[in-house]
Amino acid sequence: MDTTHPSSRHQGLEDLRYLAAKCVRCSLCKFPPLVKVESQATSSICPSIDTYGFHSHSGGGRVLMALSVLEGRSEITEATRDAIYQCTLCGGCDVSCKYVSDIEITEIMMALRARSFDATGPTDVQRRILDNLDRNGHPYESGTREDCLADIPGVRVGPGPTILLLGSAYAMSPERRTTLRNMVRLLGAAGIDVSVLGADEPDVGTLALALGDLKRFDRSASAAIGMLNDSGATEVVCADSEDWATIRAHWPKVAELGPPARHVVEVLDDAVRAGRLTLAHPVRVRAAWHDPCSLGRRSEPYQAWDGEVRKIQGQLLVYDPPRPVNRGSSGCYDPPRRLLRAVPGLELIELPRNRECSYCCGAGGGVAEAYPELATAAAMERQREAGTTGAELLVTTCPGCEQNLGGVEVAGVPTASIYDVLAASVWNQHDSFTNGS
Amino acid sequence: MTPRSKEQMRELVPGWEPGEDPDSCGVVHARTAEDVVEIVTKARGSGVRLRARSSAAPHSTVGAGDTEAVVVDLSELRAIQRIDRRNRVLLIEPGVTFDKLVVPLAAAGLQAALPLCPRPGKSALAAWLDREATIVPRRQWDISDPLLCVDAVLGTGDRLRTGSAAGPGTLEEQWAAGEAQKGPMGPGHADWMRLFEAAEGAMGMVVWASVKAEVLPSIETAWVAGADTLAPLVEITYRVLRRNAVDICFLVDRPTLTDLLAVDADRRPSVERSVSAWNLVMSTAGLEILAQRRHDLSVDIVRTEVRAAGARLVDPPPGGRDRLLHILRRPSEGMYWRDRRAGAHRRLYFQTTLDRAGQFVDLAHATVADEGFDRSCLGVYVQPQLAGRQCTVEFLLCHALDEEAASRARSVATALAGRAAAVGAFFSRPLPDVPVPGLVTDATGDFLTRVKAMFDPQCVFSPGALGIGGTD
Amino acid sequence: MSIVGVNDKQADPNVTDAERDERRAEVAAGLSRVVGARWVATDPAVLDTYTWQYTAEAITGSNWMQRPLAVAMPADTDEVAAIVRLCNTEGIQFKAISTGFGAWGAATEPDRVVLLDLRRMNRILEVDAKNMYAVVEPYVTANQLQVEVLPHGLNTHVAGCGAQHSVLASATSVMGQGWDGVSMGFSGRNLLAVEWVTPEGEIVRSGSVDASGEWFSGDGPGPSMRGIFRGYAGAFSGLGVFTKAAVKLYPWAGPGHLEVTGSNPDYMATIPEHHVAAVCVVDGWDQMAELGYRVADAEIATFMSRNAPSLMSGVLTADNNTFADLYGVPLFHEMLYALVIVITAESAEERDLKVDMLKAILSDLGGGMLANLGGPEEVRWLMRAVRVLARRIGPGDLIRSVPGAVRMLVRDARRFGLGRLSEYLPSFMYMATVTSGLNIRGVFRFGGTFWTAMGSLVSWDNAIHGAKVGAQVKRKYIDKGVIFDDGADNAWGGFYEGGTYAHLEELACYDPTDKDAADAVFEYVFETNLVSIEHHTGLPINAVGPANSALFGPHCSSYDTWQDRIKASFDPHNTADGSFYVEPDFTPNERMVAGAENVTSDRAPIDPNAPDL
């Protein structure tokens, strides 16, 4: 274990070195698994290298930067730091690498961020985000959870058997309130008695993790897990997909969450399949589903491994015991598709890059805040892709995706949250997405 | 070149003879590769220029423009050094002519990639070195095919063996290790063999080469699809080649097919009447295993595609398909086929793609009309190459044997070459005695000059029609 | 594909760090004037992402090659030419890369080379479906071109390194063996016209594109320009930069899009209706030679390659632990002498004809095949496999291996939802050969990396001869524990141009972070090179770069001296980094000399007539 964060199970760069050294610089991390590529236009899986071009801006490139830093060949300069952070941490490279090998690229990139953060401190933009977290309990300049709750009439505030974690992105964005309201209404209509924590809702640590501030993340995650474990809740439901990925893949490194957790789409999917929620009204639209990275490939559960690498048959590297590897396939892919297929009149279209091979919207990893040019370029690319399918609507469920893809609609297809679409079907309420909310 | 006495020439070029060819400065016969090395070594720095000749007479006029060069006659290097059925390869010297190849190859169960009914006495190696188009396009993987490896004597007197033949090991050692000189590239970082192609000997004299051969089909049938225009036949060509259904495959107009078929002049009128304005000549084949089924499957494809394009399969006269196949799988019999129409001919050929061939045919017809050339003396032969990716378009300007007719044909060829070049004809190899405007661009000229300076710094080899290293 | 004998150089000791940084800044400023500052990188960590390279350890002794002076990303040919001219003016070198996979994509001299990362030049400029060629820029990958041309009923040759390679780089500059060579040739032979920025910065267009702007031919007028820059190995950017290239495409009797089901890592191709994937097994090298010749003669195969059991097991599995289990099952070793053959056909009739031809050949040779042809063929294969294994390993071991085999079959049935080996093995091999998207699994993953040896383009008999003697060299290093023990024989290779020529390269997998292994593999490659000379197995795949040219030249018509002259003539200022091509005044470094001495003092005994493994 790296000595930087002895109290948690984060792997430091040194811990991951044996995996980083497996990089052969094959560049497969830049593409979806090649057997899945359908056209040149959709043959990239990496918004970062699409935008900045240099190999340093690929998954493999960052692995090599990590090795360079580890071996003392280079210091982390401003240019290095940009190359490290100009990445949405979408995990596409990780999936592609693990089709043929098993390098934990995302873990290495996060460890490199932690090394960078420890060595150089935050950038100005990052500093503002962290200050906001300190000051406001969320990463934004303004907004309060009270304001948010005022827009969600009827929601129970305080402890309850099912706690809905709203997260910050939905809660602090007035533009997303309709969606949030629809989400809560849908849960209610499904007979799920959710409560929210209001001003007490903890920061789950998503941005601190993305920025490499692991101490802060550990504090946040630890506090949040403790609060939820002590709350008496029997289930936690997560609204924000980015937080969902954090909870699933990274909280276990800090502490165990007692109550089981699910994402909202999983809860609603169960409800529809059980007949507790009826999607009655037709929504006649050709809709493409955008798999958020955080709901999909990045939400695979953390799997601890404490073993060693052995060589057998001379030079064959094996793990003792076998090392579990997340390859992106067991993310949450089917529930949202089942939900949309259940909407009468809705024709579901698959984007060429889908499920574990989805192309990132560009918002994650702290990029929307620090490198808007990357966020915009990625969203434009995804919109272009959607536009080629004949889709009339691009549906997703992640506040970052909704915001970022919606922000460049002019280039492609109107964007909607899945909750708005479902609400339209349940209550024949179309205005929530036809105006491109 | 400074005039020299016979004694001086014999001193400079051992074995030199004055010869009877007015277009050369005498001749020297090489009987071995070592002879060639000795001749070149002696001639270096002497001011004597050399040009290679391998075929029997009559000789192509390509490269013959240098009347002051001594002809190095390679026709006595005529060994077929090896025929290897297992590896489908032969190894031949430059004096091996096409008429000497067919029978021994067939005896081994093989056949060579023949140009369209070549002169019997034409050096096979010279034709292939010159990238002369061959009639089975589906088996042409590279424009250099069927050549694989060559052994060349350079202007420095060095020998350069190319491809996998270069080594390690002598030919005999390689044979013992199972190698059959099949690798056409290299050795190393350059494709040396390509530098001797279409160079008319200006870069070096090739003293042997390994050459791809193909399995002799156990069943083969010739076919002619006829049409009133070229276009539908071009479409069929694309399709049957895409399906890998035909071996022999080329397109000819009525007069040219008549030239090929009417070995006897008195049959010419009847043959000409019975063939179509445009003809796609093909063959379908079955090899060794399940030959009949394979053949029949190919026939089905041919029939389907011919029907789909609105063309018709015709029985070629005289003697039908068997006779046609016999003609196509051998060197020209009797009078050379290109001379049958009028006694002599001039060829004009260039590369293009099949879909553009028709435009050049129209251009040729317009040009001969403009030039007042007898239209019936124009022939068209389109040879698909590289499995249909490109083709050689050949215009045959048939003329009488007299000097005036020859001059007239040359004039028409010159006009046609100019017009064709202006609309994209790619003259990938020099034409006999016909200038092509803009043929050697600055880039090509620079490239050729540098290679010449490397292989033949003293310009002992004649510059050829491209003027490679030529100073006068 | 890999290289030994490339000279790793040291920094000029007379240049101080400050001077070097100043120089870098000057050059970066010049590059920025050409491409814009955004497209120039000089940050050490960023440059290091162009420095770590596979096979570096056997050249430099570490996993790093040398750091370039800068990396620039030109957008077009004019910018490439301007950078090349700048390098001429500044007295520095350039090297162009596309994906830059392999040590040859890196500098060998510190702080002297500007790398041109051609990623921004990534357009498919033309697909001429009728005349079956495409014109591409440098960063178009084989995978990209393949998926774009399949809907036209066409396919493209993909090199064995994997379909992420640049089509242009493979065709113009670097080797080009692949699984599909029997129907789609070799990269260098698929090249038509090119646009070439010479080492002096001139923009040259070859063949028909120079004459008429059409790209269908790169040969002439007169001798072909391809003769200068391509060869077997390519010039590895040591003779300029290719900025556009036309390459041959080939007919594809298959769907416009390959259907792939499942999820990572168990994607599985649906074999199209008229296609057959078959692992064709015979018993021994002699029969394998016959099989290759006969299948090639009969024109049956669209893909035909030899894959050792270790490679096939690697392709089938997603991790080394699973691989070790699978590879431990003797049943797989029955496929030691096997060719993977993929048949494609436009119709059932054509497919059936080709299958019947294949069956006739295998029947004659006493072989069997595991193919997507249903039960009876699988039963025949299994019965034959048991018979062969009983003879090869003895009935006792065979019986003891049954539980392991059953476990494997149960696990894979669970994994793929399928019951029969004849469905998923052909499917995987079909996917591997057609898309070339799984190659890392079959070689790199075992130890972390691999080198290769032997592998000349020669007659199939000679390729097999090379595999036999190469395996004996490899055994020596396996016994030392420095190469993964894949049974010594992991000769991978294929056939080209309808079987006109072939190659078998002897892969050696190892851990690149293991210093002993890195040193030993250097020696392995050198020793196989010596064996290539002594046993006349052709110029091996490693015969690249100045040291090897010097080694092989005297045995191969002194081609090295002619290469030197080409370099001197076309690159008079030595501006193109020729470290993997031709270097004026080359002298081997100490590591190279020491390695060679180790080898020559302790040679593996070679018996060219040794019995089969």
- Given a cut of 70, whether residue B202 has pLDDT beyond it is yes
Contact between chains at B297 and C350 (C-beta distance less than 8 A)? yes
> Taking a C-beta distance cutoff of 8 angstroms, is the pair B346, B397 a contact?
yes
For residue B144, tell me if it sits in a domain. Answer: yes
Chains A and C form CB pairs within 8 A to the count of: 228
Q: Measuring CA to CA, how many Å separate A270 from each of A160, A417, C421?
A: 20, 18, 37
Tell me which chain C residue has its CA closest to the CA of residue B161. Answer: C557
Q: In angstroms, what separates the C-alpha of C437 from chain A's closest C-alpha?
A: 5
Question: What percent of chain B shows pLDDT beyond 90?
Answer: 85
Q: In angstroms, what separates the C-alpha of C598 from chain B's closest C-alpha?
A: 23
Chains linked to A by 3 or more Cβ pairs within 8 Å:
C
Q: A328 and chain C: CB distance < 8 Å anywhere?
A: yes
Contact between chains at C52 and A64 (C-beta distance less than 8 A)? yes
At residue C1, the pLDDT reads 35
Q: Measuring CA to CA, how many Å separate A320 from each of A119, A307, A311, A417, C191?
A: 33, 5, 10, 44, 48
Residues C215 and C285 in one domain: no
Residues B287 and B390 in one domain: no
CATH classification of the domain holding C207: 3.30.465.10
Note down the domain range covering A108: 13-125
Q: Measuring CA to CA, how many Å separate B448 from each of B401, B420, C35, C492, C567?
A: 36, 24, 33, 39, 15
Chains linked to C by 3 or more Cβ pairs within 8 Å:
A, B
For residue B174, tell me if it sits in a domain. Answer: yes
| A near C: at least 3 beta-carbon pairs less than 8 Å apart | yes
Residues B31 and B113 in one domain: no
Mean pLDDT confidence for C126-135: 98
Q: In angstroms, what separates the C-alpha of C194 from chain A's closest C-alpha?
A: 22
For residue B361, tell me if it sits in a domain. Answer: yes
Q: Which of A212, A210, A209 is nearest to A220 (CA)?
A: A209
**How far is the C-alpha of C564 from the C-alpha of B190, rounded, in Å?**
11
Residues 391-410 of B with CB under 8 A from C: none
At residue B472, the pLDDT reads 38
The domain boundary, picked from B261, B293, B327, lies at B327
Higher pLDDT, A2 or C197: C197
Residues B152 and B95 in one domain: yes
**How far is the C-alpha of B394 from the C-alpha of B351, rounded, in Å?**
9
Tell me which chain A residue has its CA closest to the CA of residue C481. Answer: A314
Name the residue among C49, C164, C438 with its Cβ closest to that of A56: C49
Mean pLDDT confidence for C317-322: 92
Contact between chains at C54 and A28 (C-beta distance less than 8 A)? no
Tokens of B138: 């589906």
Mean pLDDT confidence for C457-481: 96
For residue B434, tell me if it sits in a domain. Answer: no
| B near C: at least 3 beta-carbon pairs less than 8 Å apart | yes
At residue A326, the pLDDT reads 97
Residues 40-79 of B with CB under 8 A from C: none
Q: A325 and chain C: CB distance < 8 Å anywhere?
A: yes
Structural domain tally of chain B?
A: 4
Q: In angstroms, what separates the C-alpha of B17 from chain C's closest C-alpha?
A: 30
At residue B23, the pLDDT reads 78
At residue C3, the pLDDT reads 47
Residues B43 and B90 in one domain: no
Contact between chains at A316 and C101 (C-beta distance less than 8 A)? no
CATH classification of the domain holding B416: 3.30.70
Residues paired with residue C306 on neighbouring β-strands, in sequence order? C339, C493
**How far is the C-alpha of B139 from the C-alpha of B215, rounded, in Å?**
11
Q: In angstroms, what separates the C-alpha of C23 from chain B's closest C-alpha?
A: 32
At residue A437, the pLDDT reads 37
Q: Is B286 helix (H, G, I), strand (E, B) or coil?
A: strand
Name the residue among C221, C229, C499 with its Cβ closest to that of B466: C221
For residue C555, tell me if it sits in a domain. Answer: no
Q: What is the dihedral of CA B7, B13, B16, B22, to 10 degrees?
A: -90
Q: C158 and chain A: CB distance < 8 Å anywhere?
A: no
Residues B275 and B360 in one domain: no
Contact between chains at C214 and B424 (C-beta distance less than 8 A)? yes
**How far is the C-alpha of C457 from the C-alpha of C201, rounded, in Å?**
33
In degrees, to the nearest 5, what angle opens at C-alpha A423 toward C-alphas A417 and A424?
95
For residue A68, tell me if it sits in a domain. Answer: yes
Residues B203 and B224 in one domain: no
Digit-coded pLDDT (tens) for C51-60: 999 999 888 8
Q: In angstroms, what separates the C-alpha of A322 from chain C's closest C-alpha?
A: 6
Higher pLDDT, B117 or A6: B117
Q: Is A152 helix (H, G, I), strand (E, B) or coil?
A: coil
Residues C452 and C438 in one domain: no
For residue C522, tell me if it sits in a domain. Answer: yes
Q: What is the block-wise mean pLDDT of chain A (437 residues), using blocks of 10 residues?
A: 55 95 96 97 98 98 98 97 98 97 97 97 94 92 91 88 94 91 96 92 95 96 96 96 97 97 98 97 97 98 95 96 97 98 98 98 94 97 96 96 88 90 92 52
Digit-coded pLDDT (tens) for C575-609: 999 999 999 988 888 878 888 888 888 899 999 88
For residue A108, tell me if it sits in a domain. Answer: yes
From the CB of residue B79, how many other CB atoms can be counted at a distance below 10 Å? 13
Name the residue among C189, C224, C557 with its Cβ closest to that of B197: C224
Tokens of B305: 């595609």
CATH classification of the domain holding B277: 3.30.70.2190
Tell me which chain B residue has its CA closest to the CA of residue C155. Answer: B242
Residues C424 and C461 in one domain: no
For residue A7, tell me if it sits in a domain. Answer: no
In degrees, to the nearest 5, what angle opens at C-alpha C300 toward C-alphas C295 and C304?
70
Residues 155-214 of B with CB under 8 A from C: 158-162, 164, 166-169, 173-174, 176-180, 182-199, 203, 212
**Beta-carbon contacts of residue C265 (< 8 Å; ≥ 6 apart):** A98, A99, A100, A327, A329, C318
At residue B462, the pLDDT reads 92
From the CB of residue A162, how many other CB atoms can be counted at a distance below 10 Å? 18
Residue B214: exposed, middle, or buried by beta-carbon count in 10 A (0-12, 13-18, 19+)? buried
At residue C21, the pLDDT reads 92
In whole angstroms, how large is the CA radius of gyration of chain B?
Answer: 22
Residues C437 and C454 in one domain: no
- Given a cut of 50, whether residue C2 has pLDDT beyond it is no
The domain boundary, picked from B146, B180, B215, lies at B215
Residues C595 and C488 in one domain: yes
Residues B310 and B246 in one domain: yes
- Given a cut of 80, whether residue B266 has pLDDT beyond it is yes
**How far is the C-alpha of A351 from the C-alpha of A362, rounded, in Å?**
16
At residue C47, the pLDDT reads 98
**How far is the C-alpha of C95 from the C-alpha of C51, rounded, in Å?**
13
| B near A: at least 3 beta-carbon pairs less than 8 Å apart | no
At residue C326, the pLDDT reads 85
For residue C556, tell me if it sits in a domain. Answer: no
At residue C4, the pLDDT reads 58
For residue A92, tell me if it sits in a domain. Answer: yes
User: ipTM value of the model?
Assistant: 0.96
Mean pLDDT confidence for C460-472: 96
**How far is the C-alpha of A83 from the C-alpha of A106, rounded, in Å?**
15
* pLDDT range class, residue C613, cuts 50, 70, 90: low
> Got the DSSP string for A3-53?
SSSTTS-PPPHHHHHHHHTT-----GGGSS-GGG---GGG----HHHHHH-
Residues of A in contact with C148 (CB under 8 A): 39-40
Structural domain tally of chain A?
A: 1
Structural domain tally of chain C?
A: 3
Residues 438-457 of C with CB under 8 A from A: 438-441, 444-449
Residues B127 and B187 in one domain: yes
For residue B10, tell me if it sits in a domain. Answer: yes
DSSP, res B82: E
Name the residue among B179, B180, B428 with its Cβ closest to that of C219: B428
For residue B443, tell me if it sits in a domain. Answer: no
Residues B170 and B115 in one domain: yes
Residues C173 and C277 in one domain: no
For residue A375, tell me if it sits in a domain. Answer: no
Tell me which chain C residue has its CA closest to the CA of residue B353. Answer: C131
At residue C577, the pLDDT reads 97
Note down the domain range covering B209: 80-215
Tell me which chain C residue has its CA closest to the CA of residue B180. Answer: C459
For residue A120, tell me if it sits in a domain. Answer: yes
Name the residue among B195, B355, B429 with its Cβ closest to that of C227: B195
Q: A389 and chain C: CB distance < 8 Å anywhere?
A: no
Name the residue among C71, C439, C440 with its Cβ closest to that of A54: C71
For residue B62, tell me if it sits in a domain. Answer: yes
Mean pLDDT confidence for C31-46: 98
Residues of B in contact with C533 (CB under 8 A): 168
**Beta-carbon contacts of residue A417 (< 8 Å; ≥ 6 apart):** A176, A179, A182, A183, A395, A396, A397, A402, A433, A437
Q: C239 and chain A: CB distance < 8 Å anywhere?
A: no
Residues C135 and C267 in one domain: no
Residues B351 and B374 in one domain: yes
For residue A82, tell me if it sits in a domain. Answer: yes
The per-residue pLDDT of chain B, averaged, comes to 94
* DSSP H or E run through C316: helix C309-316
**How far is the C-alpha of B5 from the C-alpha of C476, rounded, in Å?**
68
- Given a cut of 90, whether residue C270 has pLDDT beyond it is yes
* pLDDT range class, residue C225, cuts 50, 70, 90: very high
For residue B468, tell me if it sits in a domain. Answer: no
Contact between chains at C557 and B288 (C-beta distance less than 8 A)? no
Strand B278-286 and strand B219-227: pairing? Answer: antiparallel
Digit-coded pLDDT (tens) for C523-579: 999 999 999 999 999 999 989 999 999 999 999 999 999 999 999 999 999 999 999
**How far is the C-alpha of B44 from the C-alpha of B36, rounded, in Å?**
12
Note down the domain range covering C475: 447-493+502-543+583-613
At residue B60, the pLDDT reads 60
Sign of CA dihedral C209, C215, C221, C226: positive
From the CB of residue B179, how many other CB atoms can be counted at a distance below 10 Å? 30
Residues C81 and C172 in one domain: yes
